[in-house]
Amino acid sequence: MPRRYALALLLAATLQVEARPQPAEVDRAQLMRDVATLSSTPFQGRAAGSPGSIRARRWLAGQFKAAGITPLTASGYEHAFTLEGRTAANIIGRIDGRASGARTIVITAHYDHLGVRNGVLYPGADDNASGVAALLAVARDLVTAPPRHPIVIAALDAEEIGQRGARALLASGTIPQGTIALNVNLDMVSRSARRELFAAGTSYTPWLLPVLRDVQQRSPITLRVGHDRPAPADDRANAAHPADDWTHASDHGPFHDAGIPFVYFGVEDHPDYHKPTDTVDRIDPAFFGDAVDTIVDAIRALDAAVPAVTALQ
């Protein structure tokens, strides 16, 4: 292990960070309402550039405003980009941090899905209405107790066709890449028969590992690290599928390619993945709520830990 990584791990494991508020349980009913809304028939599966996507954009902008999230720029929440003759758009806001000059944490979740194909609706409840509902829950929590770092909250479009929304965000220069400390991406977080949530990214950024290990100890679900390159040697759960690499599986991929550390929270694929049967009634509200509680806790822990270790990379 390179000396700088060993030093980062040691400091992250031993440093006494400032006390942070213990997160309250997220509103389970609100989570389920948000997923039910996004995956409902009027939103038409949210294919990028479709009328259902436009409806989703408007709904999301309203939710951002109601939560107290400030638009990222004076032009408002909606940041449009061109997509083969159609207009797609990311919905982006910010939450100011307490520390002057701190770098930004960007939290993302894609709101698009597969739309209507051959007359059949693909509602995308887990993929990825669940991640968007979690994103909103995280934002509501951060507004009530402001973080150390400035936070960008981004509901991204066109993930399903090549992570185009994430690429557009990074290419726009709206958030200079050199000011981004970390990307936290949420994609499929509501369904696991084994009550498991994975956090990928630690293999590329070793200081993340002790932070997430600490969160593991108090999580009401099983939080595992892995599904990146390579899987941690002490995570036996990944031994059966070491090649199942999620590094470019979702919108964190473009951040990684830009040299930005990432944590990707998600569940493993289930039988309804990318099928019309990915519906809200198949979500377990208890697991979903516990998973989002864990994500909120992890983001608070990462917000506390990032200043101490990023300079060592």
pLDDT tens digits for range 205-264: 999 999 999 999 999 999 999 999 755 555 545 444 445 899 999 999 999 999 999 999
Q: Are the C-beta atoms of 129 and 34 separated by less than 8 Å? A: yes
Residue 100: pLDDT band (50, 70, 90) is confident
User: What is the pTM for the complete model shown?
Assistant: 0.89
Residue 6 has pLDDT above 50, yes or no: no
Q: Please tell me the class of the 3-312 domain.
A: alpha beta
Q: Taking phi first (over 0 means left), then psi (-120 to 50 degrees means alpha), and beta for anything else, what does residue 129 get? A: alpha
- pLDDT score, position 232: 55
- Closest by CA to 286, choosing from 25, 41, 44, 47, is 25
pLDDT tens digits for range 30-48: 999 999 999 999 999 999 9
Beta bridge partners of 113: none
Residue 137 is encoded by which pair of tokens? 């829950």
- pLDDT score, position 231: 52
Q: Omega before 128 cis (within 30°)?
A: yes
What burial class does residue 42 get, using C-beta atoms within 10 Å of its C-beta: 0-12 exposed, 13-18 middle, 19+ buried?
Answer: exposed
Dihedral through CA 197, CA 62, CA 164, CA 37, nearest 10? Answer: 50
Residue 116 DSSP symbol: E
Q: Are the C-beta atoms of 151 and 105 separated by less than 8 Å? A: yes
Residue 308: pLDDT band (50, 70, 90) is low
Q: Taking phi first (over 0 means left), then psi (-120 to 50 degrees means alpha), and beta for anything else, what does residue 158 get? A: left
Residue 283 is encoded by which pair of tokens? 């979500």
